[in-house]
Structure 1
Amino acid sequence: MKQVVFLLLLLSSWQLSAQDPPYAKKHYNLQKGVAIQGYDPVSYFKADSAEKGKESIAYNHNGIVYYFSSQANKQAFIENPAKYEPQYGGYCAYAMADGDKVKIDPETFKIVDGKLYLFYNFRLTNTLKLWNKEETELLPKAEMEWLKIIKN
């Protein structure tokens, strides 16, 4: 039964991410209109690292500005934004399991099933470590809480 509920949540989140735009801009974690604190969303996948993007290589996707470290990464994003956009609007995945929008350290991340999850890592608290201990339980909770948030 848990697997069926989890699959339904994943399916509904995929459908939401395929919409244009997937949810209101107010639900994105932005600094001065820029996502991921200016980090390149494609670098997480291609370089397995968080690379700072350049303001001169920017792309506005549905009112959300992303910076890229290279033109090639920008082009990859343009061709498939849903593949590279962070989950939960760029808020901390661990906190999202409790329905909280919490800031992130863009260099603390994990890719799960081809999706980018970002985490809080400040004041001696690295929520990625906590997430890794309970990912199986936390992921479906975070998905459910996120769906509640974006419906408002």
Structure 2
Amino acid sequence: MKHLALAAAFTLTSGAAFAGPQYLDQTGYAASGYDVVAYFSLEQSEIGQSQPEAIPGKADLTAEYNGAKFAFSSPENLEKFVASPEKYAPQYDGHCAYGVSRGGKVPGNPHLWRIVDDKLYLNITKQVVGFWEEDIPGNLSLAENNWVGIEPDAASDIQVPKFTSPAPVK
């Protein structure tokens, strides 16, 4: 399995055009060590309802992308990510989508997620999710316009409020 992870790291870093700095919390993993591919197999809740819990990745199933380590819950999810990382990586380098719509980079909470048009978006707090969901298309339009100007800025270095992210499961 280590060889697969090393091959993934080489494949994803050789010659790739990277986005801005990825948000990483104290775990050192993108999306706090949760499996970004697994979100796409979870049933999304209706607007205004809490989403299902994120699925933790495993420390021995990892790949590098955009200068960050991503963890996965299964070899199949790791393979899917390696084949198409841009499809599965959270938008805005793992920063809060609503924060980007307002012109800044703040952390994304892996438990506050939504898939829109086959892309994964994270937000920072439940209250922010409410603002985000009031007008997802409008907020996405604002975020896309803002992202061009703030993408090269340094990644957020603050922690998600009231969130303790475990390291990926061994």
Asked if these proteins are the same fold (TM beyond 0.5), I'd say yes
Equivalent in the alignment of 1:81: 85
Counterpart of 2:62 (choices 52, 55, 58) is 58
Q: 1:151 to 1:63 in 2, by over 3 A?
A: closer
Equivalent in the alignment of 1:21: 17
State the one-letter code of the partner of 2:143. Answer: A
Q: How far did 1:119 drift?
A: 0.6
For the residues of structure 1 that align with 2:110 and 2:92, how far apart are their CA atoms? 14
Structure 2 runs not aligned, ≥5 long: 1-14, 44-51, 154-170
For the residues of structure 1 that align with 2:152 and 2:64, how far apart are their CA atoms? 23
**Structure 1 residue 104 corresponds to structure 2 residue 108:** yes
For the residues of structure 1 that align with 2:66 and 2:22, how far apart are their CA atoms? 11
Q: How far did 1:151 drift?
A: 4.7
For the residues of structure 1 that align with 2:68 and 2:61, how far apart are their CA atoms? 14
Percent identity at matched positions? 36
1:94-148 superposed Cα distances (whole Å, 9 cap, x missing partner): 1111111112221110000000000112xxx431221111212211110111111
| Alpha carbons 1:119, 1:126 under 8 Å: kept | no
Q: Cα RMSD (Å) of the superposition?
A: 1.8
Higher-strand-fraction structure = 1
State the one-letter code of the partner of 2:31. Answer: I
Structure 1 runs not aligned, ≥5 long: 1-18
Give the number of the structure with larger relative contact order, counting CA–CA contacts within 8 Å between residues 6 or more apart: 2
Equivalent in the alignment of 2:131: 130
Equivalent in the alignment of 1:41: 36
Q: Aligned pairs, how many? A: 129
3-state secondary structure, aligned to 1:76: helix
**Structure 1 residue 113 corresponds to structure 2 residue 109:** no
**Structure 1 residue 92 corresponds to structure 2 residue 96:** yes
For the residues of structure 2 that align with 1:30 and 1:91, how far apart are their CA atoms? 9
Deviation >6 Å, runs of 4+? none
Q: 1:94 to 1:62 in 2, by over 3 A?
A: closer
Higher-helix-fraction structure = 1
| Alpha carbons 2:34, 2:57 under 8 Å: kept | yes
* TM-score under structure 2 length normalisation: 0.70
| Alpha carbons 2:95, 2:122 under 8 Å: kept | yes
Q: How far did 1:67 drift?
A: 0.3
For the residues of structure 1 that align with 2:24 and 2:113, how far apart are their CA atoms? 17
